[in-house]
A and B are shown apart, each in its own frame.
Chain A
Amino acid sequence: MTPKRSEHIALGLMVSGAFLALAILFFIIAVIMIKGLPHITLRFLLDNPMDMGRAGGIFSTIVSTVYLLVVSLIIAIPLGVGTAIYLTEYTKEGLITKIIRFGTECLAGVPSIILGLFGFILLVIKLGFGWSVLSGGISLSIMILPVIIRTSEEAIKSVPASYRDINKVLGGTRWQGITRLVLPSAAPGILTGVILSVGRGIGETAVVIFTLGTSLRIPFSLFDSGRSMAVHFYLLAREGISMNNAYATAAVLVFSILFINILSYYLMHRFVARRR
């Protein structure tokens, strides 16, 4: 085979691979949209589920999902960003950073069903939080923590080293440098990590089903149980309750992820543009 020919074949394989990947994405979205969109109405969004989800809407599951995500982000963002700051700004590369990084990688590799079980045993049973937004939020925060640490670390590392030098020259402490220069400059990157983790969290079932529960009411207190959209979809489909409502829920889920992504890119670009 001539080098030119092998070049052509390699290129052809890679292009078709890329298109195949894209095609799968479009196929999945298309199926969900075709089967789900016709059933999405304003009432579907604003009504609570009735008859175990056979009728009515998905309002309570939307509320549960948002509530769950907010709680998990409130826990995971300070922990994750704090860890990233410690790793990049306060320690020299060494045994400790290696251990922390290795631990983070391991945490990222833990199957979500294990995290669900862990949350169930520790939070739901042992600590007596029961199936609740609190249990679900804590468990989910453990799942998204590695993503936030990793992306925040990369974002903080990409802040020019000269900022830290000048901060010193101008008499700023390390903490002042972090809060006034490093974090604002790293914010778009950190935000990307947060969005990524919201995307993962919003579609998570295994962690949530054991810890948030499956109740169809609207959760008010942190100790109320609820049912996230993803879990709702899973139960509707698995128990064959209503495929129409299952697909409609899935469509709402996909739309939310799309919306969050677009919004975050918009915010990010605005943020970056303002600082240029």
Chain B
Amino acid sequence: MTPLLSVRDLRVGFGRNPAANEVVKGVSFDLAPGETLAIVGESGSGKSVTALSVNRLVDFGGGRITNGSILLQRSDGSTLDVAKADEKVLRTIRGRDVGMIFQEPMTSLNPVHTVGAQIEEAFRLNRGLHGADAERAALEVLERVRIPDAKSRLAYYPHQLSGGMRQRVMIAMALASSPRLLIADEPTTALDVTVQAQIMALLAELRAETGMSMIFITHDIGLVAGIADRIMVMQHGLAVEQNTTDAVLDNPQHDYTKHLLNAVPHFTSGKAVRADGERAATSEPIIKVDDLVVRFPVKKGLFKPKGAIHAVDGVSFDLMPGETLAIVGESGSGKSTTARAILGLVEKHRGAIAAKAGRSRRPIQMVFQDPFASLNPRLNVEALMAEPAIANGQKLDDALRDRMRFLLDRVGLPADVLNRYPHQFSGGQRQRLCIARVLMLNPDVVVLDEAVSALDVSVQARVLDLLVDLQREFSLAYLFISHDMAVVERIAHRIAVMYAGQIVEIGEARSVLADPQHSYTRRLISAVPAVERRRQHFAVDATQVPSLVRPAGYEPPPANWREAGRDHRVRIEETK
């Protein structure tokens, strides 16, 4: 069978001298009709540029194809070399032969046009449908991507929809012209894990319905295990390995593929939890949180009654010295708000947060998610690290500089970086810098709010190892906030699962991950992609997170708990 797409020795460069600035350095692959190819790699590997070359959107990002051919079978049977086609011809393949969905559903839809208008445009451009015909077609395709109440959604603007809904709209738009090839560029990376599972199941079903080919770009090899026929692993602009999915996963040839499969955290249902840090029943908790409630008032106009967003609703837990408690949950579950309340960054509505007097005046410190945004670009490392100390009345003297060098060494940065600025470091190095900074005040507790989520997967693994080492050396307690179960499995002693502002399950990590009791925990864990579960089939599940906006005066019913193990408590669910 002739391939739908045949790419040979593709080279793509950027800037004024593209040949000297190549990001893709000679990639070749074939894609048969109906086949799904996954391109796996980390940021900078050239995987997105490769995919964007197939419909030449790469031109608009400043890229130039310097060499190679991209032969595409068009729906009329002719073959087109995309690499050499001019813009006018390319416009006819975009949308019509090649559909595309992107990483960021939040920003990929035009905010000033309704969802309906944007889908109708796709029908107008590629099928010549107008007016009522286009509207009917838009409604049909919205129903095909399983959007509930599709008719009224047509009049919605993108900002009125959740991330998962927006990604469905994107898929609907890409499907409008029944393309024979769909390129999905990290379509679920920005989404919650249960929503990710929904989108993946949807894509699998649509592929079966339409028989289209797919190129699926991702950094998460576990995610594509269930959907791809073939996998191409990319590193530094080269395809280092490509083969059938089973061959790549079960018998990887290249070192980098082995590294991606082994060094990177993959979720294993509690088999990879830490063995250290047995909880001593006698010791006193360093932080004790009791019935914490955080609410944000909602104004509904001048005279209407006010309600409140119940961001955190009656959360209680304690944290022992030297222990890691991971708080897991999806966006809007209240996990970050809980962390912020403990640091006093948001005002609590009710509840008690008791911190035992620690080694320093500021026993709790925090590391944030984005290492690029949390370092002031105009301060050098010395000034950045001195800041917490100076803010607490110390002087920038040789003793302080010695401590900086000591900590930089501990986090794996050379001591001569004190005069450098943040932009001279990579993402992983910056996060190491942030970690060294919080250790300046010798804290007892470090709150890590999605601290490794912005990092590349292999960097993630190394930072996690560093965190474990530092925890032992400085006997730190971690409050580790994350949405990523695979990461949590590597670092947590105990896990608290949050859902809609409440803890639904809390306990020893192995017990919670291997034997989840609450229905939400189960759903969350079953949604985590895993290489070893790749043959499991997932049905489309359209469960939505409930609204957290409550009328004024609303109080949630008291929580009832049951014991599911020695250190494992589950909130009893109301039976409907």
**A pairs with B:** no
Interface residues of B (CB under 8 A from A): none
